[in-house]
Structure 1
Amino acid sequence: MTRSNLIGGEMLNWSDLQPGDARPAAAGPAATALLAATLHPEDTVLIAGPHAADLITAVASRVTSVDLLVRSAPDAEELAELLSEAKGEVFCGSVDRFPVDEKSSGYDVVVALDGMDRLVGPDTARFSWAEGLGRLVRQLAPGGRLLLGAENSFGFQRLVQPDIAAALPRDEDWGRNVGDRAPAGLRPLTAALDDAGVQVRRTYAVFPSLVQADVAVSSVGGFTAVVGARAVAARNEGPVLMDPYRVVLDAAEAGLGLELAPAWYFVVGADAPAVLPEGVAPEGEGVLLEEHLLMALRSDDQAELRRVIPGYVAWLGSGGAGSPDNVILDGASYRLFGEPQELDVVEHLARFAKRALESGSRQPWPAAADPHALTARLASMAGITVPEQEFTPDEVIRPRGSAEQLVTVARLADELAHASARAILFEGTVSGIRRSLPYRVGHAVLNPARVIRRRLKRVLRKVRR
């Protein structure tokens, strides 16, 4: 029967499982998939730090025994009751008080997917990230496996979201020594693991965070970048500095997707799939149709738009059910990426038009924020006529990010300046024509004829009366 043990440094009036003003526990489909891929039925496991209850019960159901190390006394009691039928113990306190049993062979697996920050409480004044790593490594049996999470202090979240919340201290933000923090950046973290004698088998980029690990990928590029970008965009739905979706894809194209990930998983001593959960990113050749169309818009390649859009519309007519953001273009063939979307052809094109305007993408036509006009223009390339509708200001689509909004404003100002210059040039040309000798001669010749014509009309009207 599972029981709870106080080891020192425990927090009596605190909960990481049900926080009032703090981060929730580590969780997510990617975390579940990683545990399923690396745990064996004969394993003895130590779970260190706050992990969601469903993760803990999933581990307990598939291994020989599981011990827990948490700093919250209420959480320890709750988990001990939850695992009453499982074999293992719950230790409540800080990791620096957790004893290393020299007589024991150690654990087969140590799981710390939440990282090091919440393995200690305020009673531990100084305890570095490297010391915490050393403590966990010493709990491993020879040849044991370590599953470690780490937050990125300068990831996509810093680029896309104003860090207003950081200025307001939370309940868990008590004063800590600067040296207690994890090394900043992937390379320093990897170097710290090497210094501890830990050989990492696989490193994952985790999206969108450790506490909501929707997807984890070992390389960020192609379709894995798309699933990562979707996860980050879904997490940042409010005001943003830059469009989250585009930031992730642009970073991946520049080869910085892994370094700028919101968090990482490090797998030591075990093999794991390249993508978690498996199947979340499609395999095979091709490019996301939306990206292909956006590239054609940016480069003013209207010939490519007129080639691809009729083919896409024909694919929809043959039973395809996907908007450009979840359809893969491979040469002249199309295939679905994700769940089908039951929309008609115009609605699929309207969805793309809206996403293109939200991204602040350049258009080969005069800039506008009218999704209906852009939809109609795209539909006409496939021979589809979209009925006109009255434009209303509510239809204006603004780019998601502040940076893209500024770029759009600059582009509109430039177009307005060019239009104004053309108007001034036209007015000057007309004025010059009117001052020219041929114009004045023609005007003098034709003007009497106009006067005679008007007078004849008046005379004829009087005669008819």
Structure 2
Amino acid sequence: MFAWSDRSARPNALLTRLITELSGPGRSVLVAGPHPDELITALTTGGAEVTWLLRSLTDAEQAARTHPAVTVLAGAFGKADLTPGYDLVVATDGIQRLNSAEGDQLPAAGLLDGLARAVRPGGSLVLMHDNQLGAHHTVRLDPGARHRDDAAWYPAEAVDGPAARTQLTAELTGSGLVIDAAYAAFPEPDAPTVLIGGETLGDLASPLRPWLHTVLAQAYTTAFRGRPVLSDPRRLVGRALRAGAEDTVAGGWLVVARAPGDAGHLRQWHDVLIGVAHGVHRLDAGGLRTLAPYEGPREQDGLLRAEVAQPFDGYLLEERLFALCAAADVRRLRQEVTQYEAWLSGRSRDGAVDGPAALADLSGIGVTAAGPDVLFGRWAPVEPIPTRIALVRALWQFAVRLVTAGRPHPWPITASASDLAAILTGMAGRSVTEEDLRAAVDLQVTIDAAEFGLSPADRRAHRLALLAVQPGTAPLDVAGYGELAEALWRQRYQASHLLAMMEWTEQIIASRDSQLSRMEWELRFHRSRVTGRALMAAKRAYRMIKK
């Protein structure tokens, strides 16, 4: 395919780690379709003999110049001679871009069977398949993308391939492969950061369920921050998790299969894998375990990278507070906030608190029979911060989510985030000053800047946006069309409320002006003439006789 490019692949530490574990010195690797250069470099650095198949001639020429040690093939997958097979076949870009315009389009079953036949006995296949029912497709709002992007030349909707993970594994099993692991990939198939598989997938009794709520919410926040969507995908995925249907709304399915033969390369597959900027980790009942540590700087803007997860058997504090606010249960809401304040104060020394607890969101706080604890944390302060600032920041951020998401709560709909933060802090027996609130906002800006790499200009804009959160403010991270419509309704409600108040005030003022004018006329009349005084005397006499 001439004058064409599919170079849209993004680097992904999680996939790179998983694939390089299956590779090694002297092993032959076939990379089918466009993949990030970082993956090819990692394979060649590890001593593998890499063959890279691309349908675009332009991409193939660029790949040959960038990776001289790699054998690059240009053309359709169905025309490539892949005998006698490879020790590892990588197709984490899926099967949509393996066909080419130069010949007949192979059906999905033919592409999957071709990938399976390319694996020699004892070899492995790593395949990512897009889920057309995934949350990333459901909330997508990008008109005209198919006509702008070369990579979308072959519509994903036209693929007649598997529509469920079980169908995908059945296709590969029918092609003679043995399934080693099958993961639901989140948030998007081209850049997954969370892989859920094994017994954890769909198991409502798994002790990892509360963790998954926090981990997936963070993954979708990072992936969809600043992108237009129809609705907030975090709500959709959260409901799916509560129903045990996360496999249905996953961005895609990652399958690791092997051809029968030498089993010398078998390894243990973990149920939950997390790949973020801080490294690659696995999650199990014992907590968070690092598989590939972060190699960059550990300190940034006075914050330390601190990936933390603890064993947990209880409920998420933020989810409980949302439910209590919706039920207007102020008494139990006060109990929860007071318990959190007592726990945070108990971890402080000399009025300051450090460690992940100082910066953990309420979504990362779990409550067990023994009390609150850090369920999932990503940052810790280099120097301890005042306990009151840590408390105000956590409660203020919760208030921001209440307001911007349009969630119900017991207080007036016109209450701002600052008002709600003051109410919640008052429930904990503390007061909030303007200086405390601004310090809490500055701390949140520092955390977001470290998390999302904000520039100085972005930090200033983000700080102003946080300070201006009002009832009509849309979500500041993932602004979906549904949430924008809700924010617009709140703005109109508030405007109509203000107009009604103005009209009522004008009527009251007009009524009082009329009464004052009447009284003033009577006083002038009575003071000016004798007849007026006689009339007043007659009026008083009439009232006495009537009484």
TM-score tier after normalising by the smaller chain length: 0.7 to 0.9
Q: Cα gap change, 1:174/1:142 in structure 2, threshold over 3 Å: closer, same or farther?
A: same
C-alpha distance in 1 between matches for 2:10 and 2:257: 19
**Counterpart of 2:322?**
294
C-alpha distance in 2 between matches for 1:121 and 1:333: 56
Residues 1:25 and 2:9 aligned together: yes
The correspondence of residues 22-421 of structure 1 with structure 2, limited to 5 A, is 24-25=8-9, 27-84=11-68, 86=69, 88-101=70-83, 104=84, 106-166=85-145, 168=147, 170-174=149-153, 180-218=159-197, 219=201, 221-236=209-224, 237-269=226-258, 271-276=268-273, 277-279=280-282, 282=309, 284-285=311-312, 286-317=314-345, 318=348, 319=353, 320-321=357-358, 322-331=360-369, 332-335=371-374, 337-340=376-379, 344=389, 345-387=391-433, 394-396=468-470, 397-398=473-474, 400-403=479-482, 409=489
Residues 1:13 and 2:3 aligned together: yes
Deviations 1:105-145 (A, max 9, x none): x2111110001111122113321111111111111111221
Q: 336-345 or 287-296: which moved more?
A: 336-345
Q: 346-355 or 192-201: which moved more?
A: 192-201
Q: Which amino acid aligns with 2:334?
A: R
Does the 8 Å CA contact 2:116/2:172 hold for their aligned counterparts? Answer: no
Cα offset, 1:180, TM superposition: 4.4
Deviations 1:40-78 (A, max 9, x none): 445321111111000111112224322211122233233
C-alpha distance in 2 between matches for 1:214 and 1:175: 26
Cα offset, 1:222, TM superposition: 2.9
C-alpha distance in 2 between matches for 1:79 and 1:125: 25
Cα offset, 1:407, TM superposition: 6.6
Q: Which amino acid aligns with 1:78?
A: Q
Q: Structure 2: give runs of 5+ residues left out of the alignment.
A: 203-208, 259-265, 274-279, 289-308, 436-464, 501-535, 541-547
Does the 8 Å CA contact 1:162/1:241 hold for their aligned counterparts? Answer: yes
**Counterpart of 1:446?**
none
Q: Cα gap change, 1:149/1:142 in structure 2, threshold over 3 Å: closer, same or farther?
A: same
Does the 8 Å CA contact 1:225/1:257 hold for their aligned counterparts? Answer: no
Cα offset, 1:14, TM superposition: 2.4
Cα offset, 1:284, TM superposition: 1.5
**TM-score of the aligned structures, taking structure 2 as reference length:** 0.65
C-alpha distance in 1 between matches for 2:100 and 2:431: 65
Aligned length: 398
The correspondence of residues 420-459 of structure 1 with structure 2, limited to 5 A, is none
Q: Structure 1: give runs of 5+ residues left out of the alignment.
A: 1-10, 18-23, 421-450, 456-465
Does the 8 Å CA contact 1:122/1:174 hold for their aligned counterparts? Answer: no
Does the 8 Å CA contact 1:30/1:213 hold for their aligned counterparts? Answer: yes
Q: Cα gap change, 1:368/1:402 in structure 2, threshold over 3 Å: closer, same or farther?
A: farther
Deviations 1:73-104 (A, max 9, x none): 233233333333x4x52222211111132xx3
Q: Cα gap change, 1:177/1:381 in structure 2, threshold over 3 Å: closer, same or farther?
A: closer
Does the 8 Å CA contact 1:73/1:92 hold for their aligned counterparts? Answer: yes
Does the 8 Å CA contact 2:141/2:229 hold for their aligned counterparts? Answer: yes
Cα offset, 1:25, TM superposition: 1.7
C-alpha distance in 2 between matches for 1:81 and 1:123: 24
Q: Alpha carbon RMSD of aligned pairs, Å? A: 3.5
Q: 327-336 or 393-402: which moved more?
A: 393-402
